[in-house]
Amino acid sequence: MSTPQSEDDLIQSLFAPLTLGASGSFGLHDDVAFLSNRGAGIIVTQDQIIEGTHFLPDDPLDMIARRLVRRNLSDIIAKGAIPTAAFLSLAWPRGRPRSTMAEFVLGLGDDLNKLCAKCPLMGGDTSLTDGHLVASMTMIGRPCATSGQPVLRSGAKAGDVLAITGVIGDAYLGLQARLGLISPTSLEACIRFSAAPSPPRVEMAELIGRFARASLDVSDGLILDASRLGKASGVGISLDIGAIPLSDEAAAFVAQADEVPRLLLLATGGEDYQPLMAIGENDFGEFQSLSQQIGVRVTQVGRCLVGEGVTLTYQNRPIPMPPHTGWQI
């Protein structure tokens, strides 16, 4: 899905002028907007899933709905916020029996209830289409930080620890297995995860709001998203691909062949839905420990540097940047 004009360029050239300079739009440089209302504030994010682009036509409908919720939830948590309301636009293919819409709603409701800590569906729009299934969700969140502000892509400082929750690469491996591009043997957990990747539990938002100077969710690929955080913050990024946290399945996949090319596949595969966070060096120990107490694994994968751009290392040796760093549009 790589294109001549990148998604970021497209957004900046076409859509950013339409913000009319509204400060809470962050010039469309961030993942959410901030709407202030007499001092109190909310954040808003919007993500869609499209049949054939973001999911396979025969994916179970409840998993498609879960994927939609989690794409949005991932942005909200990464900004240090708790989801408070969701809205759904659903373009439902005439060819899909109406009765199966209940399966979609089952996954939707279950994720909004459990993963999103009882986030209500507050409205939306359902229409029939002769085309593909398309679903767009708008999710609203309340920032946890005492400032009332979301954690942005900008704000990281040289010297900050770059850390990630959970593991990276399972969504990529699971999708490759489902597409028949690699053997599915011993990748059952990755296949399940890839159908509807999950961000960390919502309680993580409070710790991100308290500790992270900058944060975004890794959805397009770890390397590309790390470069976005660095660019927005005006810092360079050093990423140790040997430090990337992996599941046992992903670790076995990496060990089967040349490690570096396989690690680069995982670091550019995307759909991980894990917050990538810049944490002050002196805070990192406490942040990691408190995260562990709520059951969330946090791993240092790099560091913010004076300068710009991303440099990759593996076992203290520099690694050339791969041509594909993540997904754009």
Q: What is the binding site for its own copies (CB under 8 A)? A: 1, 3-5, 7, 10-11, 14-15, 17-22, 24-25, 28, 32-33, 35, 37-42, 44-48, 50-54, 84-85, 87-89, 91, 98, 101-102, 105, 108-109, 112-113, 118, 120-132, 134, 136, 138, 140, 329
Spatial separation of the C-alpha atoms in residues 222 and 268, rounded to whole Å: 6
- Cα separations in angstroms, 57 against 63, 88, 304: 12, 20, 41
Q: Closest distance between its own copies and the C-beta of residue 152, in Å?
A: 13
Asked if residue 290 lies in contact with residue 194, where contact means CB atoms within 8 angstroms, the answer is: no
Query: Based on CB atoms, which residue is closest to its own copies, 61 or 298?
Result: 61
Measuring CA to CA, how many Å separate 47 from each of 44, 50, 73, 185, 204? 10, 10, 10, 32, 21
Q: Which is nearer to its own copies, 27 or 318 (CB)?
A: 27
Cβ 208 to its own copies shortest distance, Å? 19
Structure tokens at 229: 């955080």
Quick one: tokens of 61? 């409908």
Minimum CB distance to its own copies, residue 3 (Å): 7
Q: Shortest gap between Cβ of 84 and its own copies (angstroms)?
A: 8
Residue 206, strand partner residues: none
In order, the DSSP letters of 97-150 are -GGGHHHHHHHHHHHHHTTTTSPPEEEEEEEEESS--EEEEEEEEEE-STT-PP
- Cβ atoms 206, 212 nearer than 8 A: no
Contact between residue 83 and residue 228 where contact means Cβ atoms under 8 Å apart: no
Q: Closest separation between CB of residue 329 and its own copies, Å?
A: 6
Closer Cβ to its own copies, 58 or 258, answer by number: 58
Q: Which is nearer to its own copies, 10 or 321 (CB)?
A: 10
Q: Which is nearer to its own copies, 39 or 180 (CB)?
A: 39
Closest approach, Cβ 86 to its own copies, in A, equals 8
Q: Minimum Å distance from CB 318 to its own copies?
A: 34
Tell me 281's DSSP state.
G
- CB of 112 or CB of 279, closer to its own copies: 112
Given the complex with its own copies, which of 19 and 313 has the nearer CB atom? 19
Which residues have C-beta within 8 Å of that of residue 156, sequence separation ≥ 6?
162, 213, 214, 229, 230, 233, 235, 278, 304
Nearer to its own copies, 101 or 251 (CB): 101
Paired strand residues for 303: 161, 238
Shortest separation between residue 74's beta carbon and its own copies, angstroms: 13
